[in-house]
Amino acid sequence: MREQPAPVLLSGGNPQIAKGNGPEVVEQYLAAMPGWKQAVGRRLDALIVDALPGLHRMVKWNSPFYGPDYSSWFVSFHCMTRYIKVAFPQGTALDPVPPGKSKQKSVRYLDIPESGAFDEALFTRWIEQASRLPAERF
């Protein structure tokens, strides 16, 4: 069996992973995250999956997405140079509203810095709330 080449890292260290559905594709993304970002990405994935065991995971546009099916999503994250950006497409409907604003009216972000520090309990509440809202269609 031939060894797969290492994924290309795009701007900010975001792994370039082919679009696909399922936990295996998300695992490829997580394994390719560089440095400190990998531990944070794995923690985010674990918190999301633990909170909602039946959800669907996929990679699109070089980011992992989580949703009720493979055609919609309610949370995603992406590697930036100095932080990981978590996106909630219906973020303004969450309580409390995540702090990062967007040009899109309902979208909100949570930026997790290199320290990896974020409120895991609050993040889990956001995930649970987001899963009950209308999912964003691809």
Average pLDDT of every residue of the chain:
95
- The answer on pLDDT for 7 being more than 90 is no
Whether 67 maps to a domain, the answer reads yes
- The answer on pLDDT for 6 being more than 90 is no
Helix (H, G, I), strand (E, B) or coil at 59: strand
- Torsion of Cα atoms, 17 then 23 then 27 then 28, to 10°: -30
Whether 110 maps to a domain, the answer reads yes
Q: Specify the number of domains making up the chain.
A: 1
* Dihedrals phi, psi of 25, to nearest 5 degrees: -70, -40
Whether 1 maps to a domain, the answer reads no
How much is the pTM?
0.94
Whether 2 maps to a domain, the answer reads no
Residue 118 CA to residue 111 CA, distance in Å, equals: 9
pLDDT at position 55 is: 96
Whether 4 maps to a domain, the answer reads no
Whether 138 maps to a domain, the answer reads no
pLDDT at position 4 is: 65
Which range marks the domain in which residue 101 is found? 11-132
Whether 70 maps to a domain, the answer reads yes
Q: What is the pLDDT of residues 27-82, one digit of tens each?
A: 999 999 999 999 999 999 999 999 999 999 999 999 999 999 999 999 999 999 99
CATH for 44:
3.90.1150.200
Q: What is the pLDDT of residues 79-110, one digit of tens each?
A: 999 999 999 999 999 999 999 999 999 999 99
Whether 3 maps to a domain, the answer reads no
Asked if 133 and 93 count as a contact pair (C-beta separation under 8 A), the reply is: yes
